């Protein structure tokens, strides 16, 4: 397991350090392990989780809805399913708007 500092995690996920802390406080990502110097250490899985959160926000999901989606036990599978469903819903909403 690769341990990433908060800066590296944020950079790889394309979010700010403040957003990582915010999502951690909201319970969207797990509280990380800490070093003896109290630095946060995150796993590579959190990069994927943050990318999922970003995509879900773009598709119009609220943070509470995203938290529910992430609560599924096998979140890797849930992530793929949720993104597919979200894209389909986004397409349907787009089609509805063009027909109105």
| Predicted confidence (pLDDT) at residue 74 exceeds the cutoff of 60 | no
Q: How far apart are CA 29 and CA 22, in angstroms?
A: 9
Q: Rounded to whole angstroms, what are the CA distances from 65 to 4, 35, 61, 72, 94?
A: 27, 32, 6, 12, 20
The fold of 6-99 is Multidrug-efflux Transporter Regulator; Chain: A; Domain 2 (1.10.1660)
Instruction: Spell out the domain ranges in the chain.
Output: 6-99
CA angle 1/65/57 to nearest 5° reads 75
pLDDT at residue 100 tops 70: no
Could you read off the pLDDT of 32-72 as tens digits, one per residue? 888 889 899 999 889 999 998 998 888 888 898 888 777 76
């Amino acid at each position: 397991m690769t341990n990433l500092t908060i800066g590296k995690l944020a950079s790889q996920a394309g979010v700010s350090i403040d957003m990582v802390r915010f999502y951690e406080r909201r319970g969207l990502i797990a509280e990380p392990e800490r070093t003896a110097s109290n630095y946060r250490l995150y796993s590579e899985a959190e990069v994927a989780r943050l990318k999922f959160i970003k995509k879900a926000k773009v598709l119009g999901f609220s943070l509470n809805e995203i938290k529910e989606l992430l609560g599924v036990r096998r979140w890797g599978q849930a992530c793929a399913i949720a993104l597919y469903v979200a894209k389909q819903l986004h397409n349907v909403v787009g089609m509805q708007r063009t027909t109105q």
